[in-house]
Every structure is written in structure tokens, then in C-alpha cells.
Amino acid sequence: MALRALPALAAAGAIILTLTGCAGGTGSDAVVINGRRVSVAEVEKTATAVASTVRGDNTATLRDEQLVVAALVSQALADSAAQKAGKPITTADRDAALASIPGGTQLEGDADARPYAEAVGDVVHAQQAFGAEAMAAQQASTSIAVNPRFGTWDTKQMSLVTGTGSLSVPVTTN
């Protein structure tokens, strides 16, 4: 094979990977929200800590990981709704919301589970303060890219639509 053909083959390979969903910004990312990347490793670490705190089980399931991803996306929408209302969510707001949830303060007390706890606290506060409609309205201006392993973000349901976790099995949103 001539060396001149290698760049063309590399470009063709990159196009194929992108079109099949196996490349792009989400390969090692669990989710990218408005350019903020959260790695699969971070999600796994957080999900394991949540499972340990909630169930006493140090093994996170795919469902635990999907809950973390969904919470992080919802947190971005909650924070955007709060910013739009001119009332950013404070630590006191989050703490009050977490205190109203069974196990919320325990999750916040675990450094590895804290990202999930903060996300849940922000979402609960935003839903109470601004309403779910205000959060849903933020989806139009929020860039959300979810790794197919965890599912897809459904803007109609404002939730993560999950599948098997297999990249070979398509996730449907209907």
C-alpha cells in the first residue's frame, strides 16, 4: 500500500467511527454538558460511593451509573434555570434540599458521592423554587451529549432513556 493512501484511510476511518457513534467527545466521557466533560471513571467512582452509602454495597450497577449521569444533566438544567431567574443556587439552598431527602446528608458527607448529592440537592431546590417547567425550558440552550453506554437524553421526558448498556443495541426514545 502506498504511503499516500494512509491519510485517506485514516480520514475514512474517523468518519466511520463518528457516524457509528464510536468516536467523538464521548468515548471516555460519560456525558458532556455545555462542554463540561465528566469521565466514565468519575461516574463509576461516584456511583460506587452512592451504592455503598445507600445500600452498603461497594459494587455499582449500570443503573447506579445511569442515575448519576441523569442527575448531572438535571443539575445543569437546574443551575441554568436558577441563573435565568437571577437566583443562583447556594450551598444553603442545596443543604436544605438534601436535608429533606432521606439519606441526602449522608451522601453529601461522602467525598466520592458528593457530586451526586450536590446534583440531587440542586435539582430538588430548583424544582421547588422555579418549577420543572423552568428546568425543561433550559434544554433548548443546553448542549447534552451522553455516552450511548448510559442511554440518551430525551428532551420530551426530560430524563435519561436507558437501554442495556450495550453499544450494539440501539436505545429508542419513542
Separation of first and last alpha carbons in the chain: 46
Dihedral angle sign, alpha carbons of residues 23, 173, 150, 50? positive
Assign 112 a pLDDT band (cuts: 50, 70, 90).
very high
d(CA 155, CA 149): 18
Assign 157 a pLDDT band (cuts: 50, 70, 90).
confident
Task: Name the pTM for this structure.
Answer: 0.78
Which residue carries 444553603 as its cell? 92
d(CA 67, CA 136): 18
Is residue 31 pLDDT above 60, yes or no? yes
CB contact at 8 A, 146 and 160: yes
pLDDT digits (tens, 9 = 90+) for 42-92: 999 999 999 999 988 888 999 999 999 999 999 999 999 999 999 999 999
Helix (H) or strand (E) holding 153: strand 152-154
